[in-house]
Amino acid sequence: MKNPLPFLPTNDLSAEEVMSSITIDCCVFSFEKGYLEVLLVQHGQGISKGKWGLPGGWIKKEEDIDVAADRLLSELTGVKDIYLEQVKTFGKPERFPLGRVITIGYYALINREDFKVKAGFTASEAKWYRIKDIPDLIYDHNEILQASLNRLRGKVKRAPIGFNLLPEKFTLLQLMQLYTEILDVEMDKSNFRRKFLKMKLLQEAGDKQTGVSHRAAKLYRFDEEIYQNLTRKGFNFEF
């Protein structure tokens, strides 16, 4: 049988197993040392060799697209139950130089502590880049990244998804820094505290920071259950 694809899948799937002309690309965000970062992978072959791009892959013939995205990312990052949201589909006819391929963009949020790069990948093949240091990417991946970031910025103001980027326990200032970094705005510590605590979404963990050379802050955890109870009202995380 003739290969229906204008090029081969780059991973361990054969052309017969996957849908032709349609792929998935993912923008994986994490938060490390106060910076929002994105996971990029290096392309090993073809005309784009050496250039960085978003991780992506093919959709199996009988596989849901959300499941496909989850599969790709679980394999790559070692994280289970990844927070994943579809952004939009990119379909310029010339976006991919080797044939007509439409790609569905997703973004994911992961807690950096859970991350383990895929077996077989070296540090030079997958790397975290700070959002302000993103290089020129292959194809239209800069555009996909920008759309993902915009979506994240919008969503973070309307739903408490930021917690997916933090460890289970965190301080209020870490949380504020996360918002500061994602939204790229300065905010007042005191007002942030008041506003966030008023929502009653945070549970005191009971313990405190250790190993800091100043007054230790209380640790909190996000209370999923309370969130679910309030979520219909649709509240506002703008600062």
Smallest separation (angstroms) from a second copy to the CB of 218:
33
Q: In the complex, what is the shortest distance from the CB of residue 109 to DNA, in angstroms, rounded to a whole number?
A: 22
CA 218 from chain centre, in angstroms, equals 27
User: 204: which strand partners?
Assistant: 220
Chain centroid to CA 65: how far? 17
Answer for which of 213, 232, 233, 234 binds DNA (CB under 7 A) is: 213
Which of 8, 13, 15, 102 contacts a second copy by CB under 8 A? Answer: 102
Count of CB atoms within 10 A of residue 68's CB? Answer: 21
Environment class of 26 (CB within 10 Å of its CB; exposed 0-12, middle 13-18, buried 19+): buried
Q: Min. distance of Cβ 222 from DNA in angstroms?
A: 16
Q: Where are the alpha helices (DSSP H) in the chain?
A: 65-77, 141-156, 172-183, 189-198, 224-230
Q: Which of 100, 97, 105 is nearest to 28 (CA)?
A: 105
The residue from 13, 15, 22, 117 that contacts a second copy (CB under 8 A) is 22
Determine contact, residues 34/181, Cβ cutoff 8 Å. Answer: yes
Q: What tokens does 45 get?
A: 């072959």
- The reply to whether 19 sits near DNA by the rule CB under 7 A is no
Q: Which of residues 54-73 bind a second copy (CB under 8 A)?
A: 59, 61-66
Residue span binding DNA (CB under 7 A) among the ranges 31-39, 82-90, 108-116, 187-195:
187-195
- Of 14-22, 71-79, 133-141, 214-222, which segment contacts DNA by CB under 7 A? 214-222
Q: Which does 146 bind (CB under 5 to 8 A by kind): a second copy, DNA, none?
A: none
Per CB under 7 A, does 185 bind DNA? no
Query: Is 175 one of the binding residues for DNA (CB under 7 A)?
Result: no
Q: Which residues, in sequence order, are CB contacts of 83 under 8 Å at separation 6+? A: 108, 109, 110, 161, 164
Q: How far apart are CA 230 and CA 210, in angstroms?
A: 32
d(CA 68, CA 62): 10
Q: Which of 91, 97, 208, 231 binds a second copy (CB under 8 A)?
A: 91
Indicate whether 30 belongs to the interface with DNA (CB under 7 A). Answer: no
116 lies in the binding site for DNA (CB under 7 A): no
In the complex, the smallest distance separating the C-beta of residue 54 from DNA, rounded to whole angstroms, is 33
Q: Which residues bind DNA (CB under 7 A)?
A: 171-173, 188-191, 193-195, 208, 212-218, 236, 238-239
